[in-house]
Amino acid sequence: MKTRVGKLVVLAFVVLTIAVLTVRAQITNQLDFKVSQAFVAGNATLAAGSYVVRPVQGTDHMVIEISSASGKPSIMVEVESVQPDAAQGGSHVIFNKYKNILVLSQVFPGAGNTGYQLLPGHPEKLAAKTETPTKQTVSSTAK
């Protein structure tokens, strides 16, 4: 009887440890960045400020959540995976700068991890018809 209880305690401990490590792994996928001007992500325009990017689990498509550091506003944007540029190290986000708009284009959590390419929204599609964007990289902090 005591061995059975001991085995159950060990099994519960192993399951709890795996659950904690899984939650911790998800937290490390968070990325913080700060931008000094309004920008577009998908079809939404967000004000200048500090933002947090997190992957959204449990959807059929790859989706990230972009929220201000205070939590509001918060949007979800569909993304595709993209490999990081070997020359660019660390966590960072890349914006496409058009004449009248700044568009969040890519998010890289760093450490050689696969990044996220945001699918272009309507504002970017319109700007891309007449302009070629310049790339602007902003450093970020992975947590």
The CA-based diameter of the chain, rounded to the nearest angstrom, is: 76
Residue extents of the structural domains in the chain: 30-142
In the numeric block, the tokens 């401990």 are attached to 13
pLDDT over 70, % of the chain: 78
The mean predicted confidence, pLDDT, of the chain is 81
Beta bridge partners of 29: none
User: pLDDT of 96-111, one tens digit each?
Assistant: 999 999 999 999 988 6
In the numeric block, the tokens 């602007």 are attached to 136
Q: Alpha-carbon distance 122 to 112, whole Å?
A: 30
* Position 28 pLDDT exceeds 70: no
- Helix (H/G/I), strand (E/B), else coil: 17: helix
The band of 20, judged by pLDDT with boundaries at 50, 70 and 90, is very low
DSSP E strand stretches across 18-118: 31-35, 39-41, 44-46, 49-56, 63-68, 74-82, 92-97, 102-108, 115-118
User: pLDDT of 51-107, one tens digit each?
Assistant: 999 999 887 778 999 999 888 889 999 999 988 876 777 889 999 999 999 999 999
* Position 47 pLDDT exceeds 70: yes
Whole-angstrom CA distances from 143 to 9, 43, 57, 123 are 32, 26, 17, 30
